[in-house]
Structure 1
Amino acid sequence: MQADIDFSHYLKNAGTGLIHLDLAVEGINCAGCMAKIERNLSAIPDVTSARVNLTDSRLALEWKAGALDPALFVSRLAELGFKAYPFERDDAETLEAQRAQGLLRRLGVAAFAAMNVMMLSIPVWSGNVSDMLPEQRDFFHWLSALIVLPAAAYSAQPFFSSALSALRARGVNMDVPISIGIVLALATSVIETINHAEHAYFDAAIMLIAFLLAGRYLDQNMRRRTRAFAGNLAALKAETATKFISATEIRTVPAAAIRPGDIVLLRPGERCAVDGNVIEGRSEVDQSLITGETLPAMAAPGSAVFAGTLIRSGTLRVRASAASGGTLLDEISRLLDHALQARSRYLRLAERASRLYAPVVHATAFLTLLGWLAYGATFHDSIVTAIAVLIITCPCALGLAIPAVQTVASGTLFGSGVLLNAGDAIERIAEVDRVIFDKTGTLTLPELDVTNFASIPDDVIELAGRLALSSRHPVAAAVARAAGAAAPLPGIEEDPGQGVHGYHQGHPIRLGRPSFCGADSLANELLHRDPEASVVAFSHGDTRHVFAVRQKLRADAADVVSGLERLGLAVEIVSGDREPAVRLAAETLGIHEWRAGVSPVDKIARIEELARQGCKVLMVGDGLNDAPALAAAHASMSPVSATHVSQAVADAVFLGERLAPVRTAIVVSRKALRLMRQNLWLAVVYNVIAVPIAIAGLVTPLIAAAAMSGSSVLVMLNAMRARGRGTV
């Protein structure tokens, strides 16, 4: 029994007195199922959150600690017609693969039976207008029954079981009218065959099943492809780490056992299990997940490494800053979960419509039956017309219209380095007409960079870089990183607040403040040319040089800004930084409207001012001071290097050192919004045209099956167009 499961291993502390549990739920096929589960479980006292992830059939629950027995949720889901068990990613992926294979097998059986029955139907159709004997027609009908009835009993199981579960729970879902239509078509065909009638509808029933299975398999396959992104993230996680338990002894331990401050050993070919900083060693590191760059980066003492990165060449000792559950990779996984659970006002509209749709379909078919009987038609003709109405009005297309686009677009954005953090992010990002950028850490990279290397001799750069390795100051770290320094100079001492010093080749060598190095005049000249730079000086004997250090604009920032303007968006900078720095960035990027020295309150005031003018603003920022503006904007984005508060408030987070994901998010979101609207209109127009035709008795059940399934397939194929980057 499910209630006997020990849930203690699966319960997680969600903070502030809450418990979190993920359940895998069988039988979730549509938006109506999602709404039904969430509505019923949210109504349980002390439950604070119940969200269904349609992509991997997962239910995420949160409730007040100590208030509920987790077995209650499994029991309640059983009452609603769903089977649930603790969610484990590997098991879920296996079950989903098995489900897809099962659908494909059933589709193969249905398609094979449909082809054979169609071959048998051809002589019957032609014989009805020629000289076929009734005995011969009956033989073909019984032969069709012999093929179709067992094939339908096997192939239609997904619809029958889902409908039965809904009825047992005293409810309806989309599979109820489907199942009724299939059963009625088969039953009518058998009765017609027994009564030696000219027509039977075995071909319509099996074709309906084949079309439905094809649509459901396409939907399942599309979800699996999108879920592959999450699966790839899980595969990047290292489950164990090699930990130093003493200065000379190492031991392999679970990644969950690593604590901040522990030292771990990383060897070539291993995945890093922690976030941390290199304290010894050098290696090329594949960190494409974090930076978006395919070329490996060089890790050296002082470099940051992240969980999920691959060690290429050398051995590293790393001091952990975060491990299991707290790494950047874990944060990305959580954001991806939000992306896959993306919901929207269009989805809520489709949910409400599909919830009302099943009873409306049943009522329409029943009224059609009564109407044709009142009109004087035979019961046979009336029931056949009612079956056609029941089949042709199935709400599958409406139910798939929005979730299909949401799923594909979320996967596309993730593949482009954009993680959605809000259910309606796609729609709101698509609607923006103005983009406001913060400068520091958003238009610029978060790390400092040396900007005047070209004017300094190579031998000086090499010496300064090695000298800088002995300092922990961020400006010195920028010099060491830019020089590519690997080995520090021996015998170097640090003078706190001034710099580092020592001797090299018999001459004193220093790196630090200009006054500490005797380079005040050179520093003043540089600051006159570039007043926003930070200055670090170098001296070796009588040689003096100064390095200009500052945050560097993202490499593609100018291209992205011009690209946004080509999309018809106004772009401006609103920054708390000093005026000269903001002016320089704006001039470099070609942004004509900018504000400097702006407080968080002023940023909100600017966004509200634009909103009153009818503008819909996308705010892009990274700092703690940007969080209020991110929350106030119509839509918002943050880089992955942003503070946790900014990431939590933002509607989307983008990875890497490039700004291109901001433009990509707008392009893909605009395309997705168009596709959502198109799908809704496709579903509506289809029903406006098809239902009157069916009620008028102008279509057979076979044609109704083809039309209904065709509309669902058309909706899904249209949704798949969101996979391309596209242009707007």
Structure 2
Amino acid sequence: MTCCSSGIGLADAGRESRCTPAELALASRDLGGGLRQSTLSVPEMHCASCIRSLEKSLSAVDGVELARANLSTRTVVVNWRTKSGQAPDLIGTLAGVGYSSHLPSSEVDGEDRVQAHLLRALAVAGFCAMNIMLLSVSVWAGADVGTRQAFHLLSAGLALPAILYAGSSFYISAWRAIMHGRMNMDVPISVGVLLSFGLSVYDTVTNAPQAYFEAGTSLLFVLLGGRLLDHTMRSKAKSAVAGLARLMPQGANVVSDDGSVDYLPLADVRPGMRLLVTAGGRVPTDGIVVEGRSELDASLVTGESAWKPIDPDSEVRAGEINRGGPFMFKSSVAPGDSLLSEMANMLAAAEDGRSHYRRLADRAASLYAPVVHFLSFLAFAGWLYASGDIHRALTIAIAVLVITCPCALGLAVPMVQVVLARRLFDRGVMATDGSAFERLAEIDIVVFDKTGTLTTGESALLNSHQITDARLAIAGSMGRLSGHPLSKALRLAQTKSGLEVVAFDGVQEIAGFGLEATIGADIYRLGRRNWAATPDAPPIVSPASSVILSKNDEALAEFVFGETIRPGAAGLVQALRSKRIDVQILSGDSQQAVASIACSVGIERFEPELLPGDKVRAITDLQSKGRKVLMVGDGINDAPSLRAAYVSMAPASASDIGRSAADFVFLDSNLSVVFDAMEAARKAARLVKQNFGLAVVYNALSLPLALAGFVTPLMAAVAMSTSSILVVANALRLAAPVAEKSRDQALRSSQLAEVAI
């Protein structure tokens, strides 16, 4: 099995986009400051050598600042900046080094064609190989000269379609590489198959006792079988990027100024447009509701299964499903800049990060072609000199060519990264760089921000059980007319209680004091105690963060608020301690507020009242002592410390700057996903080392045997495919649930969710 060709290279070449640089610029993404990003599909990218060639050729183009190839999705992302604003000739550059490319589209059909071609080629090779093997039985059993010659000729006729059709994908890939001055893993495979067939034809013509048609056809059968299995395994561990793309609608209902509705392609949607989402429809981009009320299934974005209610001024995000009536919203970003697109970009980056292990494997694989050809030539020359038998020397050289293919080494790291990225995506965690996985496995201390990280960042009504429904309905209805965080908490409490909205004759917000509403001759106030009620009104509850509801200056109820601890926070701290990982809080909040949260979740060490620079210095001090710090934060003020940490995480609710600064973003509101990500990263690190060990042991054992003449070409093909299958199968072990038993035990106390301070 090899990783260098798909078998449909010519078919895919026909799909190459003929778009001009101007059209490519229109399809690019604006990153700000004149920097733009273009993504191209490169279906003929199949190994580390391809990645290196693509990135090297594109990086040499004027205006290109970054080129990053992704083997999993077979795409290349290019960041470019030109004075004219016109895109560089990226497609022409790739064509110049032997790769057809086009703008990305649905890859489902392409994947189906790959599998269909592999199945057909495997069937042809299998049919031919089995029949040739049957004919060979008679030859091996001692058939007379005439029968033997006839069977050899029949075998040659059967081998021809296998060599020409089943082996075509190898030859096409090898020829392209050679014509553009490159070497890839299919070159020695092609040489081995063709040499084996040519040697057998020579033996048939010279009426030799033996021919080796079954070796060449069986070699193709085994290689194609391994490739089909590899393709199936890769599909099983396939990037979720394509899945995310399929979740997006193909267009959006755009509402014009005159009220008419036009259905436009998603690419034509711009910020500021009013979009209509019908019942059951999916939100096409991020925006703010301007008309209508409904409920949204936001499980894709937030990980929460409960539907969220929306009304005017509510925020909606791409990928959410409308489970209620139609509503209209104003788009705030282009679809390509939505949170769902950001998720896809992060996931794609995670799957192809250049970690230390990945760079090591790439360097080793790059030595393959020159080394294996030298060893094959050395084996041929040595055996020809030692035995004088050119036939035997060629057979051994062919076996060396085949058995030394470093597919297992080339797959050791990327397969683990792809499976890990998918595993964590299923848990709602995405990485901005695959190398972050490697760093996450090494951390020994976790530093948390408080507000928005250990807590949800939102106020919650603590004493709703002490408030009558009538008074909660009045306060919640007044809160609907204010954007204050405490008003939002009152609205949520009213909604959860299922109370109806109270209609007022008039409502006004008095800055710095609160809300005043009238119903007939009655005046209701909601706000500060010394404003809402008479100064001598006794407190109903000991004052914390609270507001008073009064009627005609008489206090009716006091609403007490506090921060809501994020679900799973206390359990996460216990789980980290069980793994001997230190935990600490760095916060800009007051001593009392930080101490209260730290006590509730079980963290002993904390530093309050810190400025952003103070947090960075604290993290730098820890790392100067050799500590590997994981920083978990969410705010704009946390961005410097997220960048300073060895590895960092942020919730999806974090600011845009905070998410951009973090190495990981998690969608689930439950902090247990942090522990899951750490355990998965540690297991992935172990699997990478195991894969390296398998690849090294395979080459250490197989190469001496091949050089010594103990391996036939057929045995070499079986051994090579087996080693690659073992590496891929070992990586797929990561797809199993990660440390579920220990996590469930360690996080049992996460039932403290929604505990309020």
Above 0.5 in TM-score? Answer: yes
Alignment of 1:445-524 (within 5 A): 445-484=456-495, 487=501, 489-497=503-511, 498-504=513-519, 507-518=522-533
User: Is 1:88 the equivalent of 2:104?
Assistant: yes
Aligned partners of 1:684, 1:522: CA distance in 2, in Å? Answer: 80
Q: C-alpha displacement at 1:611, in angstroms?
A: 1.9
Q: Deviations over 1:560-609 (max 9, x none)?
A: 22222233322221111112221121111112222211222222222222
CA contact (8 A) 1:283 1:314 kept: yes
What is the aligned partner in structure 2 of residue 592 from structure 1? 604
Q: C-alpha displacement at 1:102, in angstroms?
A: 1.6
Q: C-alpha displacement at 1:351, in angstroms?
A: 1.3
CA contact (8 A) 2:68 2:77 kept: yes
What is the aligned partner in structure 2 of residue 162 from structure 1? 173
Q: Residue 667 of structure 1: SS of its match in structure 2? A: helix
What is the aligned partner in structure 2 of residue 112 from structure 1? 127
Q: Which sits farther off after the overlay, 40-49 or 704-713?
A: 40-49
Alignment of 1:120-269 (within 5 A): 120-125=135-140, 127=141, 131-227=142-238, 229-246=240-257, 250-255=261-266, 260=271, 262-269=273-280
Q: Which sits farther off after the overlay, 635-644 or 242-251?
A: 242-251
CA contact (8 A) 1:434 1:571 kept: yes
CA contact (8 A) 1:476 1:536 kept: no
CA contact (8 A) 1:50 1:61 kept: yes
Alignment of 1:635-650 (within 5 A): 635-650=647-662
Alignment of 1:627-706 (within 5 A): 627-706=639-718
Q: C-alpha displacement at 1:66, in angstroms?
A: 4.4
User: Is 1:103 the equivalent of 2:118?
Assistant: yes
CA contact (8 A) 1:20 1:60 kept: yes
Alignment of 1:9-408 (within 5 A): 9-11=23-25, 12=28, 13-66=30-83, 72-85=89-102, 87-90=103-106, 92-125=107-140, 127=141, 131-227=142-238, 229-246=240-257, 250-255=261-266, 260=271, 262-408=273-419
Of 552, 557, 568, the match for 1:545? 557
CA contact (8 A) 2:159 2:213 kept: yes
Q: Deviations over 1:127-171 (max 9, x none)?
A: 1xxx43343344433333322221122111221111100100112
Q: Residue 679 of structure 2: SS of its match in structure 1? A: helix
RMSD: 2.6
Classify 1:546/1:279 alpha carbon distance in 2 versus 1 (closer, same or farther; 3 Å): farther
Q: C-alpha displacement at 1:525, in angstroms?
A: 7.2
CA contact (8 A) 1:24 1:58 kept: yes
Q: Residue 325 of structure 1: SS of its match in structure 2? A: helix
AA aligned opposite 1:644: D
Q: Which sits farther off after the overlay, 561-570 or 695-704?
A: 561-570
Q: Residue 642 of structure 1: SS of its match in structure 2? A: coil
Q: Which sits farther off after the overlay, 51-60 or 190-199?
A: 190-199
CA contact (8 A) 1:211 1:710 kept: no
Q: Deviations over 1:407-458 (max 9, x none)?
A: 1211222222111102311101111121111111111113332222222223
CA contact (8 A) 1:215 1:709 kept: yes
Q: C-alpha displacement at 1:258, in angstroms?
A: 5.3
Consecutive unaligned residues of structure 2, counting only runs of 5 or more, are 1-13, 743-757
Q: Residue 714 of structure 1: SS of its match in structure 2? A: helix
Q: C-alpha displacement at 1:21, in angstroms?
A: 2.6
CA contact (8 A) 1:654 1:661 kept: yes
TM-score for the superposition, normalised by structure 1: 0.92
Aligned partners of 1:721, 1:166: CA distance in 2, in Å? Answer: 34
CA contact (8 A) 2:91 2:100 kept: yes
What is the aligned partner in structure 1 of residue 636 from structure 2? 624
Q: Residue 84 of structure 1: SS of its match in structure 2? A: coil
AA aligned opposite 2:706: A
AA aligned opposite 1:89: S
Q: Deviations over 1:348-391 (max 9, x none)?
A: 11111111111100000110111112223411111111111111
Classify 1:599/1:561 alpha carbon distance in 2 versus 1 (closer, same or farther; 3 Å): same
CA contact (8 A) 1:471 1:499 kept: no
Q: Which sits farther off after the overlay, 134-143 or 343-352?
A: 134-143
Q: Residue 336 of structure 2: SS of its match in structure 1? A: coil
Aligned partners of 2:234, 2:319: CA distance in 1, in Å? Answer: 24
Q: Deviations over 1:320-346 (max 9, x none)?
A: 433433322222222223223322221
Classify 1:81/1:391 alpha carbon distance in 2 versus 1 (closer, same or farther; 3 Å): same
CA contact (8 A) 1:419 1:652 kept: yes
Classify 1:40/1:505 alpha carbon distance in 2 versus 1 (closer, same or farther; 3 Å): same
Q: Which sits farther off after the overlay, 62-71 or 413-422?
A: 62-71
Q: Residue 449 of structure 1: SS of its match in structure 2? A: strand
AA aligned opposite 1:26: P
What is the aligned partner in structure 1 of residue 6 from structure 2? none
Classify 1:502/1:134 alpha carbon distance in 2 versus 1 (closer, same or farther; 3 Å): same
Q: Residue 89 of structure 1: SS of its match in structure 2? A: coil
What is the aligned partner in structure 1 of residue 8 from structure 2? none
Q: Residue 610 of structure 2: SS of its match in structure 1? A: coil
Classify 1:123/1:483 alpha carbon distance in 2 versus 1 (closer, same or farther; 3 Å): farther
Aligned partners of 2:449, 2:239: CA distance in 1, in Å? Answer: 34
Q: C-alpha displacement at 1:232, in angstroms?
A: 2.7
Consecutive unaligned residues of structure 1, counting only runs of 5 or more, are none
Classify 1:247/1:544 alpha carbon distance in 2 versus 1 (closer, same or farther; 3 Å): farther
Aligned partners of 1:190, 1:723: CA distance in 2, in Å? Answer: 47
Q: Residue 622 of structure 1: SS of its match in structure 2? A: coil
Q: Deviations over 1:600-643 (max 9, x none)?
A: 22222222222233221111111112111111111111111212
CA contact (8 A) 1:208 1:709 kept: no
Aligned partners of 1:572, 1:242: CA distance in 2, in Å? Answer: 49
TM-score for the superposition, normalised by structure 2: 0.89
What is the aligned partner in structure 2 of residue 720 from structure 1? 732
Q: Residue 332 of structure 2: SS of its match in structure 1? A: strand
Classify 1:122/1:603 alpha carbon distance in 2 versus 1 (closer, same or farther; 3 Å): farther
Of 606, 609, 618, the match for 1:606? 618
Classify 1:295/1:147 alpha carbon distance in 2 versus 1 (closer, same or farther; 3 Å): farther
Q: C-alpha displacement at 1:248, in angstroms?
A: 5.7
CA contact (8 A) 2:200 2:211 kept: yes
- Count of equivalent residues: 718
AA aligned opposite 2:284: A
Aligned partners of 2:509, 2:165: CA distance in 1, in Å? Answer: 81
CA contact (8 A) 1:456 1:545 kept: yes
Q: Which sits farther off after the overlay, 469-478 or 338-347?
A: 338-347
CA contact (8 A) 2:473 2:500 kept: no
Q: C-alpha displacement at 1:559, in angstroms?
A: 2.0
What is the aligned partner in structure 1 of residue 19 from structure 2? 5
CA contact (8 A) 1:266 1:272 kept: yes
Aligned partners of 2:315, 2:620: CA distance in 1, in Å? Answer: 39
Q: C-alpha displacement at 1:252, in angstroms?
A: 4.4
Q: Residue 273 of structure 1: SS of its match in structure 2? A: coil
Q: Residue 10 of structure 1: SS of its match in structure 2? A: helix
AA aligned opposite 1:572: Q
Q: Which sits farther off after the overlay, 584-593 or 495-504?
A: 495-504
AA aligned opposite 1:104: L
Aligned partners of 1:177, 1:420: CA distance in 2, in Å? Answer: 37
Aligned partners of 2:375, 2:467: CA distance in 1, in Å? Answer: 83
